[in-house]
């Protein structure tokens, strides 16, 4: 099928501001939007820049705004995106080039919640730390995060306030706070109990809509808020 | 071109402003829940059971002669005002990036809140029907 593609391009070495460029490609309806980008880059305009790695919705490299909504280019099919597709970089971050954004703030937020197992007790001798399926169920949803930044850049608070830690960091904190094997929960809760932590969240639900993994992001944030309330 | 490399340990540790924000969030939930009942019953009483044509001086005198309705209206006033003002406060916090403009907006908002709260509370608490008889045409 014929697909009209409009891409927001920006090359800081040449352009003073971003501008749209139009392309026409022939794709199968069952192709992915990433295939559209590849067709353009490989056969029409090699200067087009974007991140992609696994191309199967696991690595989280190719989150971008497709027809105004954050999505993974490798997960959204052309037949679902339509014959006219507008592709723009994620909102709220500086554009490095074309569809590549500077995610340093995003990683800073992620690193600040200490995204690793904290437990100084040695594991039971001869085996790993075990937990019941019920204990796992509490945080199972937030283990699915691939850190594509679709949620954080869909959040209107992130657009106006770079100091906000962002939904993705809270999701990854949630993944450890409610893990029965982890002992760093209190420390992470203290980090999130801040004006720019969970309390900057206004419960807009954009993050939940944007998540390509279907994580109930807003619910995870609300769970952290309630834990802080009950602990206070 | 983004030349900045990793800053290592992530962002600076929070200054610990969570306490008030936690209270603010909880206040939103509790006042919102209370307002659902207070505001809905207010609308039913003022616009369904009675109409605006029936609500006159005598109606207000009768209503505010009861401490129950005085407390009801005082709660409606304070919770609705503070719930809304708290919303405006977080919007200012989100959108005013300059600290001096933010302080100016906070100050203006606080002043307006105080004026409205005092005016409304005085009207409810110090209401004296005898002062309004001439206006009410009695």
Q: Give a yes or no: residue B91 inside a domain.
A: yes
**B-chain residues near A109 (CB < 8 A):** 10-11
Higher-scoring residue by pLDDT: B58, A154: A154
Domain boundaries, chain A: 2-101, 104-231
Is the complex ipTM higher than 0.90? no
Q: Domain A104-231: give its CATH code.
A: 1.10.1060.10
> Would you say residue B38 lies in a domain?
yes
Domain for residue B13, yes or no? no
Q: Do B18 and A228 touch (CB under 8 A)?
A: yes
Q: Name chain A contacts of B17, Cβ cutoff 8 Å.
A: 194-195
- pLDDT-derived band at B128 (thresholds 50, 70, 90) equals confident
Identical topology for domains A2-101 and A104-231? no
* Residue B17: inside a domain: no
Q: Is B67 left (phi over 0), alpha (psi -120 to 50) or beta?
A: alpha
How sure is the predictor about B4, in pLDDT bands with cuts at 50, 70 and 90?
Answer: very low
A111-130 pLDDT, tens digit each: 999 999 999 999 988 899 99
Question: Does residue B9 form part of some domain?
Answer: no
Is the confidence at residue B136, as pLDDT, over 90? no
Domain containing residue B33: 27-136
- Please indicate whether, in this complex, the C-beta atoms of B14 and A229 are within 8 angstroms of each other: no
Q: In total, how many domains does chain B have?
A: 1
Q: Residue B56's domain is classified under what CATH number?
A: 1.20.1300
Mean pLDDT rounded to a whole number for chain A: 96
| Cβ-defined contact of A112 to B18 (cutoff 8 Å) | no
Residue of B10, B15, B24 lying closest to A111 (CB–CB): B10
Asked: is A2-101 a CATH 3.40.50.1000 domain? The reply is no
* Inside any domain, residue B22: no
B101 near A CB under 8 A = no
Domain annotation covers residue B104: yes
Which residue from B14, B21, B22 is facing A191, i.e. has the nearest CB? Answer: B14
What is this structure's pTM? 0.88
pLDDT of amino acid B18:
72
- Identify the band that residue B12 occupies on the pLDDT scale cut at 50, 70 and 90: low
Chain B within 8 Å of A95 (Cβ-Cβ)?
no
Query: Is the pLDDT assigned to residue A152 strictly greater than 80?
Result: yes
């Amino acid at each position: 099928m014929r697909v009209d593609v409009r891409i927001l391009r920006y090359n800081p070495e040449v352009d003073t501001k971003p501008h749209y460029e139009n392309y026409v490609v022939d794709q199968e309806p069952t192709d992915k939007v990433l295939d559209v980008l590849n067709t353009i880059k490989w056969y029409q305009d090699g200067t087009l820049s974007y991140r992609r790695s696994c191309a199967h919705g696991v690595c989280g490299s190719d989150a971008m705004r497709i027809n105004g909504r954050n999505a993974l280019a490798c997960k959204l099919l052309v037949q679902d995106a339509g014959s006219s597709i507008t592709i723009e970089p994620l909102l709220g971050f500086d554009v490095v080039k074309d569809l590549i954004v500077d995610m340093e703030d995003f990683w800073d937020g992620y690193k600040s919640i200490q995204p690793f197992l904290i437990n100084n007790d040695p594991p039971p001798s001869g085996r790993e730390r075990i937990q019941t399926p019920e204990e796992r169920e509490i945080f199972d949803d937030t283990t699915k995060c691939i850190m594509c930044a679709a949620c954080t850049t869909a959040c209107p608070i992130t657009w106006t306030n770079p100091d906000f830690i962002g939904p993705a960091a809270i999701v990854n904190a949630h993944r450890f706070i409610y893990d029965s094997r982890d002992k760093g929960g209190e420390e992470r809760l203290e980090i999130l109990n801040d004006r720019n932590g969970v309390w900057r969240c206004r419960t807009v639900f954009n993050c939940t809509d944007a998540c390509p993994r279907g994580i109930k992001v807003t619910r995870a944030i609300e769970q952290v808020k309630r834990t802080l309330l009950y602990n206070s | 071109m983004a030349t900045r490399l990793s800053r290592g340990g992530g962002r600076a540790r929070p200054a610990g402003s969570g306490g008030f924000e936690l209270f603010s969030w909880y206040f939103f939930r509790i006042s919102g829940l209370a307002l659902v009942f207070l505001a809905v019953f207010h609308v039913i009483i003022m616009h369904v059971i009675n109409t605006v044509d029936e609500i006159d001086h005598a109606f207000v005198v009768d209503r505010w002669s009861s401490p129950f309705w005085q407390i009801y209206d005082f709660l409606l006033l304070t919770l609705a005002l503070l719930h809304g003002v708290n919303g405006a406060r977080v919007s200012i916090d989100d959108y005013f990036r300059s600290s001096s403009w933010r302080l100016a907006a906070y100050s203006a908002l606080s002043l307006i809140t105080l004026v409205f709260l005092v005016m409304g509370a005085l009207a409810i608490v110090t209401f004296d029907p005898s002062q309004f008889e001439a206006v009410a045409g009695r």
